Amino acid sequence: MPYDQTAMLNVLRPAVTRVLTPVGRVLARHGVSPNMITVLGTLGVVAAALFFFPRGELFPGALVITVFVLADLLDGVLARMNGSGSRWGALLDSTLDRISDAAIFAGLTAWCALSGQRVLAGVALFCLVAGALVSYVKARAEGLGMTCDVGLAERPERLVIVLVAAGLEGLGLPYVLAAGLWLLAVASAVTVGQRLRHVHRQAVAEP
């Protein structure tokens, strides 16, 4: 797991960790490393997003992706068990998170475009770019020695919204995905602005 945990993830992590701990023990005994779990989880998300979503199979896609997203917690469980957490692992995890997010929104963009929903395809593409910017601003700020733990829509919130919206749309509830994507587009744009403002305040306060 990355070292920067969001409030939502901190709320969910204890319960999910209790479920995943026995799985982590089995994997640790067989020499499976946290980085292997991170890579496999990302491959699963990418494959599911690019296979199911463009075909319009939104519910199974969202379900399979959710299962693989749990690897984001399982790799942390393994790292704590064998003390193998590292800066390299944190960097790898954060980098692969960006790939997973891109695949999810690329798959949805493809489905929207193929189904004739060009405006919604543009919104999904905007969500992809804005989500990357949210993460980039924080990483760049921390690289410059400033904090950036602010924002309306961090990664866990974005994943919950898009996967729930896609899953419900796949179950036949109309307009849910459109509402979710528009909500994410606005929330992501606001988050980028919040983070830039937060960093700017720190920069101008420096002697």
Residues acting as catalytic residues = 97
Tens digits of residue pLDDT in 33-58: 788 888 999 999 999 999 999 999 99
Q: Once rounded to an integer, what is the mean pLDDT over residues 114-136?
A: 95
Report the alpha-carbon distance of residue 20 to residue 135 in Å, rounded: 27
CATH architecture for the domain at 7-205: Up-down Bundle (1.20)
Q: What is the pTM of this model?
A: 0.86
Domain positions in the chain: 7-205
Average pLDDT of the chain? Answer: 86
